[in-house]
Amino acid sequence: MKITYMGHDQFYLQSETGFALLTDPFDPYVNFPMQEIKADAVTISHEHDDHNYIKKVTGNPTIIRTFGVHKLTDSVSAEGIPSFHDEEQGAKRGKNMIYKIKMDGLTVTHLGDLGHLPDSFLYMMLSRTDILLTPVGGFYTIDAKQAAEICRNLKPRTIIPMHYKTEKHGLTNIAMLSEFLEAIKPLEPTYLQSLEVTRESLSSLPPLAVLDVSAV
C-alpha cells in the first residue's frame, strides 16, 4: 500500500493491485493545491465543502458516506464508524464518520474531523489500528493535546497527522503542526514524501510519520 498526503484531511491510498481510495476531498477554499484525481472509491467523513468536494474526482468512484462495512474488493473495505464533529454530540457542527480502511492486510483509520475524545465503546471500535490518520489542528476538531491522548490510548504502529495549516496553505484558524509535535513527545517525527508499506514491513515503520503535501 502507498499513502500520499494531499493536504487537509485528504489522502490517496493505493493498493498493491492499483485500487485507489481517496479520503475527504477538499475544495478550493482550503487553499491547498487543487488537482483532478482519478479514484475507485471516496470516503466522506461529513458534508462540509472542505471534505466532500467530489466534483474534482474522476473515474466514476464509489462514494461512501454511511456507517457499516463497505466491501470494495476482495482485499479492500471501508467501515464507517459514527462519531461527532464537536464535544456536544453534534449540536455545534454535526456528525462525523470515522473510517477503518482495510487494504492489503493492513488497517488504516481515518478520524475525519473528530471533535471529541472517544468513549470506551469508540476506543474499542478503533482498536487494532495499524496506521492512524488523525486531525491535530483544533478549533474545528480535536486539538494537539487531545490527538496525542488518542494516539497514546490506541497505540497504532504509525501516526500520521492531518488537518493542520502550513505557512502557505490550510485554514487560517487552526494550529500548525508544531503544536502536535510538541504534545506527542517523546516521539520524534520522520519526514517522508509518502508512505509505502506491506504487512511484512509494518514493524519497520516509524512511530510518527509526517508526510509532505504531494500530488499523485
Averaged pLDDT, 146-168: 97
Q: Looking at residue 16, which CATH number applies to its domain?
A: 3.60.15.10
Q: At residue 196, does pLDDT exceed 80?
A: yes
Quote the number of domains for the chain. 1
pLDDT confidence of residue 91: 83
Strands (E), the chain: 2-7, 10-14, 20-23, 37-38, 41-43, 57-58, 62-64, 68-71, 76-84, 95-103, 106-110, 131-135, 158-162, 190-192, 195-196, 209-211
125 lies in a domain?
A: yes
pLDDT confidence of residue 86: 82
215 lies in a domain?
A: no
73: cell is 474488493
Instruction: Give me the domain span that covers residue 178.
Output: 2-210
190 lies in a domain?
A: yes
Averaged pLDDT, 104-130: 97
Contact call for residues 118 and 83 (beta carbons, < 8 A):
yes
Confidence of residue 90 (pLDDT cuts 50, 70, 90): confident
Averaged pLDDT, 144-160: 98
What end-to-end distance do the CA atoms of the chain give, in Å?
Answer: 14
216 lies in a domain?
A: no
- What's the whole-model pTM score? 0.95
Contact call for residues 14 and 2 (beta carbons, < 8 A):
yes
